[in-house]
Amino acid sequence: MKIVSLLFAGLFLFAPHARADDEAAVRAFVDAYDRAYQAGGTQAIETLLADDYRVVVEGEVKDRAAALAEFAATDRPAITSMSSTIDRVHVAGDLAVAVGRIEWAQNAKKGSEHFTLVLRREAGRWQAVDEHVSDIDE
């Protein structure tokens, strides 16, 4: 019985550190996602998207293939800057949700969007599963 009690005590003491590590990993994922999105092309971003990835932007739903095709498009306007501010990160086991705001610029055009990003950890690596982005009216 003492061993079981010590095991549970150890798990509860370790849990806050695990959550902090997971939250830091999710924040690092969002930074990598921003850099890959700004870089354009598919090479940088395709490893960040799960096979069943789906994004909804202003009501338009795109699966992984459609999103990657958009990244690969040569006529895609270049993103000159992009950064996300994360308001909240929730981690539950191998699932995480990041919620925040994206600030971006395409040459002289600037915008702000709200995002919700759902991540799933597989084989120790976070990948985007679902994403929702909507404009913020200033």
pLDDT at 50 (0 to 100): 97
pLDDT in tens, the chain (138 residues): 455 454 444 444 444 545 789 999 999 999 999 888 888 778 889 999 999 999 998 889 999 999 998 888 766 677 778 889 999 999 999 999 999 999 988 878 888 999 999 999 999 999 999 999 998 876
pLDDT at 109 (0 to 100): 85
pLDDT at 79 (0 to 100): 75
Closest CA to 98 of 30, 18, 31: 30
Would you list the domain boundaries of the chain?
Answer: 2-135
Q: Which amino acid is at 68?
A: L
In angstroms, the CA 3 to CA 8 distance is: 9
- CATH code, 2-135: 3.10.450.50
